[in-house]
Amino acid sequence: MFTGIVADVGRVASVAERGDRRFVLTTAFDTGTIAVGASIACSGCCLTVVEKSAGRFAVDASGETLSVTTLGDWREGTEVNLERALRLGDELGGHLVSGHVDGVGRVVSIREEGASRRIVFEAPAGLGRYIAAKGSIAVDGVSLTVNEVDGRRFGVNIIPHTWTRTTFRHLAEGSRVNLEIDLLARYVARLMEPETTR
C-alpha cells in the first residue's frame, strides 16, 4: 500500500527486453535500505525491485502491465514519480493507494489559476462512474482531490509544491497518465450492483 505522496522523482536510466521489459531507475532513495523484492510505486504502478545498486534499482514490467499503463511509453530519460511502500506507523498524508492502475487517462487542458494550475483529465470509458467531486484519485501515483466531474472528465488543482516536485511539470494537453480510482469507490460501486451481476 501507498499514500500517493511522491517522495522522489527518478529517471529511467536504461530499458532492456528480457522476456519482460526491465527498467533501471535512478533515485535519491538510500537503496541500501531497499530490499530486493520490495514494492515501489513508479508513477502509480506498484513494481517489485529485482536488482539494486547505489542510487538505482531495477524493476520488470510484463506485457500486461505495459499494455494497461503508461509504462510502455517509458524511454531512457523519462522521469518517474516514486514512492516507497507504506509502513505501519507512517503518516497517511494522502489516501490509501494500492499501486494497481485502473486505466490510462489523458490531459484535456491545463490553465494557470492563481499560483496553482487547474488540470482537466479524461478517464477511459467505465471509470467515470467511480470518480466523485471532493473524492480522491491517484494520477501518476499522486494523491489528488477531485474538484469537479463532468461525465468522464474531472478537474483538479495542482499547487506549486506538487507541480515542481512531481512529473506533473512535464504534462501538456494530450499527455497520458496512470489513473487509480479510490479503493472505497470501487467497493461501494460493487455493493450497489444487483445481485444477479455478482
CATH code assigned at 157: 2.40.30.20
Is 89 inside a domain boundary?
no
Is 91 inside a domain boundary?
no
Task: Give the distance between the most distant pair of CA atoms in the chain.
Answer: 54
pLDDT of residue 67: 94
> What's the structural domain count of the chain?
2
* Model confidence, pTM: 0.92
Residues of the chain falling short of pLDDT 50: none
Beta bridge pairs of residue 110: 119
The letter for the amino acid at 184 is L
pLDDT of residue 24: 98
Distance CA 147, CA 154 (A): 7
Do 66 and 113 have their domain in common? Answer: no
Last residue of a domain, one of 53, 84, 115: 84
Tell me which residue range forms the domain holding 186.
103-192
Do 59 and 109 have their domain in common? Answer: no
CA-based end-to-end distance of the chain: 26
pLDDT of residue 90: 73
Is 1 inside a domain boundary?
no
Is 197 inside a domain boundary?
no
Is 90 inside a domain boundary?
no
Do 129 and 170 have their domain in common? Answer: yes
pLDDT of residue 193: 73
Is 198 inside a domain boundary?
no
pLDDT of residue 95: 84
Do 71 and 127 have their domain in common? Answer: no
